[in-house]
Amino acid sequence: MVIEEYLVTMTLVRSSLLALGLAAVVATTASAQSAPPPSDPSPAPAAQAAASPAPGPLDHVTLGVALEGFYQYNWNRPFDRINLLRAYDTRSNVFGIQQTAIVIESAPAVDEGRRFGARVDLQFGQATETVQGSAANEPRPDVYRHVWQAFGSYVFPVGRGLRMDFGKFASSLGFETNYAKDNDHFSRAYLFNFLPFYHAGVRATLPVSDELTLVYMLTNGIQQTEDFNNFKSNHVVAIVKPARSVTWTLNYYAGQEQPDGGQPDGPDGYFKVIDSYVAWAATPRLSVGADMNYVTNEVRKADEPLALQGTGLYARYQVSTPAALAVRYERLDDEGLFGGIEQVLHGFTATAEYKLADGFLVRGEVRRDWSNARFFTGPRPDDRRTHQQTALVGLVWWFGNKTGAW
User: Which pairs count as long-range contacts for 297-304, CB under 8 Å and 24+ apart, including other chains?
Assistant: 297/257, 297/269, 297/270, 297/271, 297/272, 297/337, 298/269, 298/270, 299/258, 299/267, 299/269, 300/267, 300/268, 300/269, 301/268, 301/269, 301/270, 303/269
- pLDDT of 40 above 50: no
Domain that includes residue 259, residue range: 62-400
389 in any annotated domain = yes
Identify whether 339 is part of a domain. Answer: yes
Phi/psi of residue 225, nearest 5 degrees: -70, -35
pLDDT at 261: 80
Q: What is the pLDDT of residue 138?
A: 87
What is the amino acid identity at position 132?
Q
Residue 20, pLDDT score: 34
Confidence of residue 219 (pLDDT cuts 50, 70, 90): very high
Averaged pLDDT score across all residues of the chain: 88
Write out the H or E segment, with its range, that includes residue 100. Answer: strand 94-106
pLDDT at 112 over 80: yes
**How do residues 196-208 score in pLDDT, each as one tens digit?**
999 999 999 999 9
Q: Is residue 24 part of a domain?
A: no
Note whether residue 260 is domain-resident.
yes
How many domains does the chain fold into?
A: 1
22 within a domain of the structure (yes/no) = no
| CATH number of the domain where residue 205 is located | 2.40.160.10
CA distance 366 to 324: 15
Domain-located, residue 42: no
Residue 183 lies inside a defined structural domain of this protein: yes
- Report if residue 255 sits inside a domain: yes
Name the amino acid, one letter, at 197: F
80-95 average pLDDT score: 94
Q: CB atoms < 10 A from the CB of 277, how many?
A: 22
Residues 6+ apart with CB under 8 A from 99: 66, 68, 88, 123, 124, 125, 126, 127, 128, 178
CA distance linking residue 320 with residue 47, whole number of Å: 50
How far apart, in whole angstroms, are the C-alpha atoms of residue 7 and residue 139? 123
